[in-house]
Chain A
Amino acid sequence: MRILVVEDEPRLQRNLAKALREEGYAVDMAGDGDDGLFKAETYEYDAIVLDVMLPKLDGWELLARLRKTKQTPVLMLTARDSHSDRVRGLDAGADDYLVKPFDLSELFARIRALIRRSAHKTSNTIQIGDIVLDTRARSVTRAGNPVTLTAREFAILEYLAVHRGEVITRAELFEHLFDENDSTLSNLLDVHIFSIRKKLGTDIIATRRGQGYCIER
């Protein structure tokens, strides 16, 4: 899952990126509204964390412009804790709203909920045969036995599981699993898929030659 953090306070931006990466997300960062809007329109993010007070283009305006083309889930961050601000944020098309200062655990939970909702899922666990993914604990069990996946492997499996039944192209996987700082060597993806199949069974991920990968229903 790939997330964009638009925040102008450099230390907060750095902390958020670090924390989200440690949670297994690919994270891009933007320090002002213009940059944020550019990235939000250019890449396919699974969620955007958007500060309201931004230089150049504020969060409201960014959201309004983004909504003309994209429905990426947006979590607004604001230091203003007034009722009218919350209403304004939700009316402007924000999917959720968090007031600074916030707990990271709450931020993570809300981001998970946003991604789940956009994939029309209601639970944090996804079951594929005898394999169970817990997107919250980021753990996998097979027939009740824990299986250890690397963060990358889990991210690939999670993305395919969330979009179960859809054929996901390699480009799409790259887009959602690697942030702008990652070097995207395409054969790396094959290595990760191979490793997942070795741990969870060959038939868990089907390869559609020339199209992409799929976890079948």
Chain B
Amino acid sequence: MLLWIALLLVLILAALDFAAFKIYFANSVAKFDGTLRRRVAEMSVAVFAHGNRNNDSPDAEPGKSDLDKAFLIATAQHLGQVGMEGFYFAAWSGPSVNESANRPDEIPRPQLKDRDTGTYARMRGTFREMYHATENGDLILVGHTLAPEISDANRFAGWLVFGSIVFLGLALSGSWLIIGQALQPVEKIGLTARRIADGNLSERINTEETESELGQLAGVLNSTFARLETAFAQQKQFTADAAHELRTPLAVLITEAQTTLARERGMTDYKDSISASLETVQQMRRLTDSLLELARFDAGQESLRREKVNLATLAEDSLKLVRPLAAQRNLQIRSDLEPMYVFADAGRLSQVVTNFLTNAVRYNRENGEIRIATRLQGDFAVLSVTDTGEGISPADLPRVFERFYRGDKSRSTGGNGLGLSISKAIVEAHGGTIEVASEKGNGTTFTLRLPFRPD
């Protein structure tokens, strides 16, 4: 992270330094060029003024070019006016002649393209030279050393590099501090998360001292942990409950067998003992079946054989099963069933309805009533079963779908405490919902809601 920032900063600073250096140097050269240009112009004017006059004069010295003579005169005149000041001059006559007086020999003739006229500038080593080309190919050149400007520019570059390094240092240490500060809460979250992962599920990330975005993240993590904790706790409870529910009938079986075998007994005693054992074993079988069923729903392995199902017909079939039981307790059954189609696993769904009805019989009062009805509510087909029993206390109501939860904590009512949990799993696997409403003393209503299929 810090390495990338450093790399990026170095690149940016290098580019900036380079540009600044270029601009600075170009600027000082441009200033210098003004003087040079003036000199070249003055020289040109002077040379050509003399050159023209010499052409007219009769005592023109043969062999020496007119330009040279004019150049010498002009130079002298010019120098008389402004002084040498480190400037040097040169002149070349015609396109090909490479001879001229009073100029450093090492100065190469500027290469011109054909018939170029005008003023040009060039760098030659540390020298800046400005030259003027005339129409007939003559060249006038003025040069000066740029050494002071170059050393100025180099000094400037030195300061730039020094400044950049200082800036880089500051920026990096600053970034390091800021990143450290910014990462601290993340590190804390990581540490807490690790502790939670190590098994302390009840721990939470402190969201107070983290910044807003991190606070949100911490909040999301916390709620995830909370859900995990609940899920784990429920799973643990479920396992403990399952063990408990299986151990009790096991205890019955063991004590039954040991008591019976403790001494010689009559045939009826043995028979009684065996049928009591059988009853207990059947109870255990029902329980393990239910547990397996729930486990399969939990794992999402329970497949539904869905088809078009008429809720009313299904309810009628379930009623047939329950009627004898209801008759034993002298319960009236009132049904209000309209044909209503859902896309469901008929066997599973009738398991739910039968569970509702069995509960309605079991928890009803003698001579009570059971009402079963179907109706359409929005896009949902609704089936409800109401009893006239004692009702469920508000404390127990939210927990009736919990596994092994029995309102009275007793086994006396005969169920294994899994019926409603299984019903809930079945209805939810169908994409529906299951509800309970109850008032102490006024009976209980169980309702299931499934997506309605109009056709």
Contact = CB atoms under 8 A, between A and B. Distances in A.
A18 B410 contact: no
Interface in B251-285: 251-256, 258-259, 262-263, 276, 279-280
A102 B250 CA distance: 9
A104 B247 contact: no
Contacts of A53: 244, 409
A209 interface: no
A104 B412 CA distance: 24
Given A15-B256, A32-B410, A53-B409, A100 B250 contact: yes
A79 B252 contact: no
B240 A101 contact: no
A12 interface: yes
16 contacts: A9-B252, A10-B411, A11-B252, A11-B256, A11-B280, A12-B255, A22-B262, A53-B409, A79-B251, A80-B243, A81-B243, A101-B250, A101-B254, A104-B254, A104-B258, A104-B259
A16 B255 contact: yes
A12 B253 CA distance: 8
Interface string A1-32: 00000001111100110110010000000011
A82 interface: yes
B248 interface: yes
A55 interface: yes
B198 interface: no
Given A15-B252, A19-B262, A8 B247 contact: no
A79 B250 CA distance: 10
A135 B253 CA distance: 27
A22 B265 CA distance: 12
A8 B410 CA distance: 7
A54 interface: yes
A203 interface: no
B254 A19 contact: no
Nearest to A19: B259
Interface in A41-70: 53-56, 58
B258 A79 contact: no
Contacts of B209: none
Interface in B155-203: none
A100 B245 CA distance: 10
A79 B241 CA distance: 9
B173 to A, nearest CB: 53
Contacts of A99: 247
A166 B279 CA distance: 48
A103 interface: yes
Q: DSSP majority for the A interface?
A: loop
B408 interface: yes
Contacts of A56: 408-409
Given A79-B247, A80-B244, A101-B247, A12 B252 contact: yes
A31 to B, nearest CB: 8
Interface of B: 240, 243-245, 247-256, 258-259, 262-263, 276, 279-280, 408-412
Contacts of B280: 11
Nearest to B250: A101
A101 B253 contact: yes
A111 to B, nearest CB: 14
Nearest to B283: A11
A54 B258 CA distance: 24
Contacts of A101: 247, 250-251, 253-254
A55 B412 contact: yes
Nearest to A15: B255
B247 A100 contact: yes
Contacts of A104: 254-255, 258-259, 262
A79 B254 contact: no
Contacts of B410: 8, 32, 54-55
Contacts of A32: 410
Contacts of B255: 12, 15-16, 19, 104
A10 B410 CA distance: 10
Contact of B248 (A18, A19, A55, A100): A100
Given A22-B263, A80-B240, A9 B258 contact: no
A103 B254 CA distance: 7
B412 to A, nearest CB: 7
A55 B408 CA distance: 6
A18 B259 contact: yes
Interface in A99-122: 99-105
B262 A9 contact: no
Contacts of B259: 15, 18-19, 22, 104
Contacts of B250: 100-101
A16 B411 CA distance: 17
B240 A8 contact: no
A122 to B, nearest CB: 27
A19 B258 contact: yes
Nearest to B408: A55
A130 B255 CA distance: 37
Nearest to A82: B240
Contacts of A103: 254, 258
Contacts of B411: 8-10
A9 B248 contact: yes
Contacts of A58: 409
A31 B408 CA distance: 13
A53 B408 CA distance: 11
Given A19-B258, A101-B251, A104-B255, A79 B412 contact: no
A10 B279 CA distance: 12
Contacts of A100: 247-248, 250-251
A104 B251 CA distance: 9
A187 B169 CA distance: 109
Contacts of B253: 101
A190 to B, nearest CB: 30
The 6 closest A-B pairs by CB, nearest first: A55-B410, A79-B247, A79-B244, A101-B250, A15-B255, A100-B251
B197 to A, nearest CB: 23
Given A11-B276, A102-B251, A54 B243 contact: no
Contacts of B256: 11, 15
A102 B248 contact: no
